[in-house]
Structure 1
Amino acid sequence: MSSRGDAARHRGEPRRDALLLARFGSGDGALVLVAVASGARAVPDGHRAARDACEWIGGAIGRSQERLAEDIRAGHRGALESGLHRLTDRSYGRLRARAHELGRHPDEYSAALRCLLLPADPSCGTRVFFGVGDGGLFRLRDGVWRDLEHTGPGTGSGTGPGGDRVTVDLGIVAPGPAPAEPFRFRVCSARPGDALLLCGTGLAEPLRGEPAFGEPAFGERLAGRWARTAAGAGRAPEPPGLAAFLSDVRLPARGHAADRTACVVWEA
């Protein structure tokens, strides 16, 4: 879900966040892409840049779907990292080209981008994350959050080992330097009962923040809602219903009034 923040509503501004959920391919070889983008703050076209970022990375993934799905199933981490890095750079190249068309500085037509690739094959528990700029990827396991971007191995930039095949995309590349922000990449394995949260800046910031004004930490409150166990001993937590999920993502957090955009994968 993606919701306009209180600050934007107060100022009469559009939602700067964009969310894309797409499925490419069919059968067990299909891939599901979740893309979350947050437009640059205090610029008039931030919301359009976020939509363009989601659209262009979606097109790039769609054109490379078969090879990406094969690399995920085969565990070709180096190929995935280098290939997704290229696709991301090309999408940012298109953003820079659009900024030039509009007569804007590239920083005035850009967006933070967070993506998650999920194979449709139920026997493959590999989850692939990549992106540039602010936002977050968090895992809720046994009632405890872990920030998968800022802890442990798996976050990095650059290309993989030279011996791996490279996932390629045949889109047109706009000239210019790569994004100033580092490319982030991580491969993780799903475990039954996990909840994997991909979110924009407006939700990542309160999740990483300290308790404020005497309130429990935002992450503790959200974990308390999503870690409730189903009736019966030994059963894994169940996802909330749609209405409860929308309410949970919009839990108030003092000092945080930005857009809220989130997609959660609950592992069966």
Structure 2
Amino acid sequence: MNYDESRGAYDDPGHDHRRMGEATDPDGLDAHIAGLPYGVIAHETITRAPEAAAPTLPPDPQASEGPVPFAEPETEPLRGVPVHVGHHPPSYPPHPLGRPSMRDADAFAPFSPVVLLDGAQIGRLTVRAASVRGDSHNWEGSCRQDAMAVTRIGPPEAELLLLAVADGVGSALYSHVGSYQFSRLAAVYLDREAEGIHAALYARDEDELRVLATKAVAGAAAELRSGWARAAQHQPRPYADQDYATTLHVLLIPTDARIRDRVLCSVGDGGLFVLREGRWEHGDPDGGGELLDTRTEALPHAYRSVKATLLRTVPGEVLLLGTDGITNPLTQKDPEFARRLANAWGGPEVPSLSDFLWQAQTRAKSYDDDRTVICVWEEQA
């Protein structure tokens, strides 16, 4: 609104032309308000509340003593550098250094964060998940090659909690892309088979579970291969499976607490531990298969090599799904690393997200790879 328009808005017979600060006749207040524009009337009406008798309050005992100073905030102790096991700390520094540049890396690597942190509570199941760039990658300034996914699949009557970890092969040029995309697209294809997987779990049919898991992983591999091949047509380097090589481990848990069986689908090294009575175990006590995989196979090439393993758990046990960045130090001869994490995650309380992240970064000399770990606690009925 320009000056002439503003004069036109206010130059009417009922408007009071006195300057701000001049005294106003109280008897003419109603006429003054009646001449104001609507917006000003609303403002004056709101800000000038009707007069009312002020309530009688007891005198403030501190009114004569001046303002009360603010209390000094309590300073919480900093956690500092994650703890390490063994007599000597790792050689690499414990914090991120450089990172990929847009000018010297593919389009995905510069935006890959150093840390991923996630969690959920679904019924009596509580999840904590962290993926952390390893010390060696921190030192090099390269991107994190691990990936993870936490989601739910299937319809309400056959719902499954899906937890996935993937470890891109270190020598593969685009393994960080492969791990990221496989951990998510595998969930999409497993969702399509969720009702069949749920029924096979109820029947404890391990062969059917392997067929369904292989079908889902093969579907994800075919779609990703096709997309990567098309993208390679615009690049000087032709498509090759080994450029995107990654391991993959998927744990499926029915959200129906009456079904006690779970299935682990695996390709490549890494896998699952179960914390039972203060000890990390990687075998099913009911005679099931081995929960850790030491094969060097990798997707997308090894899409026919999906291993499906049934296990039965009880409330109170803690499930740990991880890449070899954490499963390897858990199996080392020195038990200090395993004991420290058993004490941290086997207590009566589930750790907060920040506590879990700090605990997951417990360091051990010579174990400097990316580390991805997902833990599941189940509340007693």
TM-score by length of 1: 0.79
Q: Which amino acid aligns with 1:193?
A: G
Task: Go from structure 1 to structure 2 and tell me whether the alpha carbon gap of 1:66 and 1:182 turns closer, same or farther (over 3 Å shift).
Answer: closer
Could you say which residue in structure 1 is the equivalent of 2:143?
14
Q: Which runs of 5+ in 2 are unaligned?
A: 1-129, 233-237, 292-299
Give me the whole-angstrom Cα distance separating, in 1, the residues matched to 2:248 and 2:175: 12
Output the CA distance in 1 between the equivalents of 2:212 and 2:303: 19
1:71 paired residue among 196, 200, 208: 200
Q: Which one scores higher on RCO, CA 8 angstroms, separation ≥ 6?
A: 1
Q: Distance in 1 between matches of 2:290 and 2:211?
A: 13
Query: What is residue 258 of structure 2 aligned with on the other side?
Result: 123
Aligned partner of residue 238 in structure 1, secondary structure? coil
Instruction: Give CA-to-partner distance per residue, 1:160-188, whole Å, 9 cap, x none.
Output: xxxxxxxxxxxxxxxxx961894322111
Query: Once the two structures are aligned, what percentage of the paired residues are identical?
Result: 31
Partners of 1:15 and 1:8 lie apart in 2 by 7
Matches of 2:301 and 2:260 in 1, distance apart? 31
- How far apart in 2 are the matches of 1:28 and 1:246? 33
- Aligned pairs for 1:245-264 within 5 A: 245-264=356-375
Q: Does 1:35 align with 2:164?
A: yes
Q: Note the alpha carbon deviations across 1:143-200, whole angstroms, 9 max, x for none.
A: 0111239x963249xxxxxxxxxxxxxxxxxxxx961894322111111210010011
* Aligned partners of 2:133 and 2:143 also within 8 Å: yes
Q: 1:110 aligns with which of 223, 235, 245?
A: 245
Cα deviation, residue 17, structure 1: 0.7
- Is there any run of 5+ residues in structure 1 with no aligned partner, and where? 157-176, 229-236
Cα separation, partners in 2 of 1:181 and 1:217, compared to 1, 3 Å? farther
Q: Which residues of 2 match residues 120-199 of structure 1 at below 5 A?
A: 120-148=255-283, 153-155=288-290, 179=302, 182-199=305-322
Count of matched residue pairs: 235
Partner of 1:217: 336
Secondary structure of 2:366's match?
Answer: coil
Alignment-mate amino acid for residue 243 of structure 1: S
For 1:181 and 1:17, how far apart are their aligned partners in 2? 22
- Kindly provide the amino acid, as one letter, of the partner of residue 249 in structure 2: R
Q: How does 1:26-65 map to 2 (within 5 A)?
A: 26-65=155-194
Give the Cα separation in 2 of the matches to 1:183 and 1:125: 22
Instruction: Tell me if 1:265 matches 2:376.
Output: yes
- For 1:185 and 1:105, how far apart are their aligned partners in 2? 27
Secondary structure of 1:89's counterpart equals helix
Distance 1:112 1:196, change over 3 A: same
1-structure distance, mates of 2:157, 2:163: 18
- My pick for the range that moved more, 134-143 or 72-81, is 72-81
Give the whole-Å Cα distance in 2 for the aligned partners of 1:197 and 1:181: 25
Contact 1:139 1:197 in 2 (8 A): yes
CA–CA distance in 1 between the matches of 2:154 and 2:164?
A: 17
Q: CA deviation at 1:40?
A: 1.3
3-state secondary structure, aligned to 2:368: coil
Q: 1:89 aligns with which of 202, 206, 218?
A: 218
Shift of 1:95: 4.6
CA distance in 2, matches of 1:152, 1:76: 15
Task: Give the AA of the match of 1:39.
Answer: G
Deviations 1:206-244, CA, capped at 9 Å, x for gaps: 112222xxxx5311221122223xxxxxxxx33222222
Contact 2:329 2:367 in 1 (8 A): yes
Q: 1:67 to 1:183 in 2, by over 3 A?
A: closer
Distance between the aligned counterparts of 2:153 and 2:288, measured in 1? 29
- What per-residue deviation string (whole Å, max 9, x for no partner) do you get for residues 82-141 of structure 1? 221232233334454455443243122110000000111121121110110011210000
Other structure's SS at 2:242 match: helix
Whole-angstrom CA distance in 1 between matches of 2:178 and 2:273: 25
Cα deviation digits, residues 31-86 of structure 1 (max 9, x gap): 11111111110333111010111122111111112222222223332211222123
Q: Distance in 2 between matches of 1:48 and 1:23?
A: 23
The 8 Å contact of residues 155 and 195 in structure 2, kept in 1 or not, is answered as: no
Q: Distance in 2 between matches of 1:99 and 1:210?
A: 41
Give the Cα separation in 2 of the matches to 1:220 and 1:14.
30
Tell me the amino acid that sits aligned with residue 374 of structure 2: C
Q: Give the direction of change, closer, same or farther, for the CA distance of 1:119–1:105 in structure 2 (3 Å limit).
A: same
- Looking at structure 2, the residues matched to 59 and 181 of structure 1 have their Cα atoms a distance apart, in angstroms, of 18
Two-structure CA RMSD over aligned residues (Å): 2.4
